[in-house]
Every structure is written in structure tokens, then in C-alpha cells.
């Protein structure tokens, strides 16, 4: 996506690219149906969705550097990672079987 090179505002360009990448993941719901015809259809769709997910992830990580000053980027990413890790712990504990 060359939206920034075309003169778009950085935040608008990233959000537009992320919307396109998110839409590229949607065909993955057809992988099982198309995989019943030929395994390679499912592999191609899942590969395409995985690539779109990676492109989306790369853009979401760079939004932090767009929104915060250089001195705060590492702290914001660290706090976000810690929050995600703690959320994973709490969800695992909450969903654990008891008894």
C-alpha cells in the first residue's frame, strides 16, 4: 500500500490499509468448503489469510510509533504487551475447570 507516498495522512493511510488487510482475511471461512474439492484451495486461502494477518499486525505495531513520541514508544509497547500477557493469564484462570 503506497497511500503515504500518495500524500495521504499517515494515520488515515494506515487505517485504510488495515481495513483492506482485515477484509482479506474473510475468505478463510470458505477454506473448509473449498478444501473438500481440492486440498490446495484450502491451503491457498489459509496462506492468503495468514499473509493478510501478518500485514495487519505489522501495521498495528507501527501505529504506536506514529501516535507517541520516540521516547515513549518502547514503554507503550511494553505496557501493551504486559496487559496482553496478564489478560491471557486471567482468561486462562477464569476458563479453567474446577473440581
Domain that holds residue 88: 69-99
- Give the number of other Cβ atoms within 10 Å of residue 66's Cβ: 12
Q: For residue range 41-69, what is the model confidence (pLDDT) as tens digits?
A: 999 999 999 999 999 999 888 888 888 99
Cβ 37 vs Cβ 44: under 8 Å: no
Within this chain, do residues 63 and 73 fall inside the same structural domain, yes or no?
no
Within this chain, do residues 44 and 81 fall inside the same structural domain, yes or no?
no
**Is residue 15 scored above 60 in pLDDT?**
yes
The CA radius of gyration of the chain, in Å to the nearest whole number, is 18
Q: Report the number of distinct structural domains present in the chain.
A: 2
Within this chain, do residues 34 and 46 fall inside the same structural domain, yes or no?
yes
Q: How far apart are CA 17 and CA 7, in angstroms?
A: 14
Within this chain, do residues 4 and 21 fall inside the same structural domain, yes or no?
yes
pTM, two decimals, is: 0.71
Amino acid at each position: 500500500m503506497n497511500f503515504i507516498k500518495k500524500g495521504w495522512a499517515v494515520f488515515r493511510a494506515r487505517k485504510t490499509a488495515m481495513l483492506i488487510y482485515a477484509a482479506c482475511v474473510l475468505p478463510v471461512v470458505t477454506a473448509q468448503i473449498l478444501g473438500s474439492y481440492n486440498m490446495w484451495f484450502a491451503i491457498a486461502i489459509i496462506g492468503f489469510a495468514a499473509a493478510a494477518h501478518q500485514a495487519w499486525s505489522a501495521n498495528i505495531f507501527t501505529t504506536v510509533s506514529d501516535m507517541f513520541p520516540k521516547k515513549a514508544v518502547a514503554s507503550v509497547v511494553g505496557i501493551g504487551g504486559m496487559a496482553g500477557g496478564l489478560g491471557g493469564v486471567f482468561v486462562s484462570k477464569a476458563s479453567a475447570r474446577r473440581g
